[in-house]
Every structure is written in C-alpha cells, then in structure tokens.
C-alpha cells in the first residue's frame, strides 16, 4: 500500500476509516503519530477515546510540529504509520507564527517523507474549503494553509479517500 490521504469534514468518520485501513495492513507494528496538543479537558477526553479505539497494539508518537521527521524516523518495513491529523498540525504551525510559504515547505517535506517511507503511511485531514470565507485574518490564514497542504498531500498520495457520513469514496487511486 502506498500513501493514502483520508479527508473529510469534521466528524465525518475519517479517523475511523483511516484506522480500519491501517488495521487491515499485514504488518507486525503499528505507529500512530499524533499531532494534537490536548490543552483542555475536552481534547484530553477525545485523545483518550482515540487511544481506546486504537487498542494496545499501537505505539503512539506525539509530534505537533516536526511531522516529516517523525514519519522518517518511524518508517520501516513491517510497519504501518497513521498520522492523525494534518489539520491540527497546520493549526500548530499557524500558532507558531509560520507563514503560508513556510507551512507549504513543511508540507513538501512531509510529502517527500511519505513517498520515501518503506511502509504504508495513512494521513487524516479535514477538508475546510467548503465553507464560507472566515471574517478574521487568522482563520483565513489557517483555511488557506489547510487547502494548500491538502493539495500537496493529495498529489503525493497514491490514494485519496473522501469521507462523507462515515462512507469513504475513492477520489484518487
């Protein structure tokens, strides 16, 4: 399996679909790269639910910013890597005062890392371009960066799954 992007709206079921894809791989090790920084009780509860859904056979690597390095460091034969999610990673980069160009450069580094990986890599991301134009500059920066990153990742992946209401639809591959 080559790189896969699983993309959809918030609460569309994309994380569950990505987890099913990863669990279907014939591998001896499973690595979950988490980009979330749980800064409040609600996010801590979400993280705990996701961990319970994955089960004990997953190794978790927490990396909120240096995602390409985390993928490269953990990619080896006999593994599957699941990255959840690109949207929180982009948020972390925006909040670290990265420009659109710097975020695009980070995405290109990630694209290179997933293409070089000797194991399946599955990425999860939110589609944020179907809504209205946000009224404030920070939200527009995030939306624009997410759109660009999603385009870079979709191009780098051999398969793209669009998830709507828990149903995956193949839009590439």
Give the separation between CA 44 and CA 27, rounded to whole angstroms: 29
Q: Is 167 assigned a catalytic role?
A: no
70 closest CA partner among 106, 45, 95: 106
Sign of the four-CA dihedral 146, 170, 63, 110: negative
Per DSSP, the chain holds a count of helices (H) and strands (E) of 6, 7
Pair 83, 122: CB distance under 8 Å: yes
> Pick the catalytic residue: 30, 50, 54, 106?
50
DSSP annotation of 62 reads E
**What residues are designated binding site?**
8-15, 62, 84
Pair 5, 14: CB distance under 8 Å: no
Q: What is the dihedral of CA 48, 54, 59, 61, to 10 degrees?
A: -50
**What residues are designated binding site for GTP?**
8-15, 62, 84
Give the separation between CA 69 and CA 113, rounded to whole angstroms: 8
Pair 30, 22: CB distance under 8 Å: yes
* Residues marked as catalytic: 50
């Amino acid at each position: 399996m080559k790189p896969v992007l699983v993309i959809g709206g918030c609460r569309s079921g994309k994380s569950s679909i990505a987890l099913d894809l990863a669990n279907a791989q014939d591998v001896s090790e499973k690595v979950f790269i988490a980009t979330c920084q749980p800064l409040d009780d609600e996010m801590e509860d979400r993280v705990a639910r996701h961990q319970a859904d994955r089960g004990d056979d997953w190794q978790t690597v927490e990396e909120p910013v240096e995602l390409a390095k985390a993928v490269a460091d953990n990619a080896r034969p006999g593994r599957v890597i699941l990255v959840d999610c690109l949207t929180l990673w982009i948020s972390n980069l925006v909040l670290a005062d990265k420009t659109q160009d710097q975020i695009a450069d980070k995405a290109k580094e990630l694209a290179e890392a997933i293409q070089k990986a000797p194991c399946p890599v599955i990425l999860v991301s939110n589609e944020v371009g179907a809504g209205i134009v946000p009224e404030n500059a920070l939200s527009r920066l995030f939306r624009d960066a997410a759109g660009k990153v999603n385009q870079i990742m979709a191009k780098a992946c051999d398969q793209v799954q669009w998830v709507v209401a828990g149903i995956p639809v193949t839009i590439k591959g």
